[in-house]
Amino acid sequence: MKIKDIIELLDAENLTPELDLEQELHSACGSDMMSDVLAYVKDQAVLLTGLNNPQVIRTADMMDMLCVVYVRGKRPDALSLKIANEKGICVLTTERALFTCCGILYDNGLRGA
């Protein structure tokens, strides 16, 4: 699955349009607790979350993730987007809920740890 596929599947808006949407992704995780992401996630490329602060992007950066999806219509602040652009992390936002997003992506081949 590519980032452009996630945009289509989740009816998401791309908030970092200058970044590469052709990157291939194989795994994802969904969580609002960044400590859990740091503790249990391995080689996940996508983080889906309803949490909205710069530590979301920092966490994704530390985990070498390629894409962050904000659910339930959350929109990150300017600092988050600045860091994401610097680190090359694609940022998407969707109106759908976390559980629904995870289900759709799983149904289309993305897996967890």
Binding site for other proteins (CB under 8 A): 32-36, 38-39, 51, 53-56, 58-59, 61-64, 79, 83, 87
Residue placing its CB nearer to other proteins in the complex, 40 or 108? 40
Total residue length of the chain? 113
Name the minimum Å distance from CB 41 to other proteins.
10
Name the minimum Å distance from CB 80 to other proteins.
9
Asked if residue 108 lies in contact with residue 28, where contact means CB atoms within 8 angstroms, the answer is: no
Tell whether the torsion through CA atoms of 97, 45, 9 and 75 is positive or negative.
positive
Name the minimum Å distance from CB 53 to other proteins.
6
Residue placing its CB nearer to other proteins in the complex, 21 or 54? 54
Q: How far apart are CA 98 and CA 86, in angstroms?
A: 26
Number of Cα atoms under 13 Å in the Cβ half of residue 85 = 12
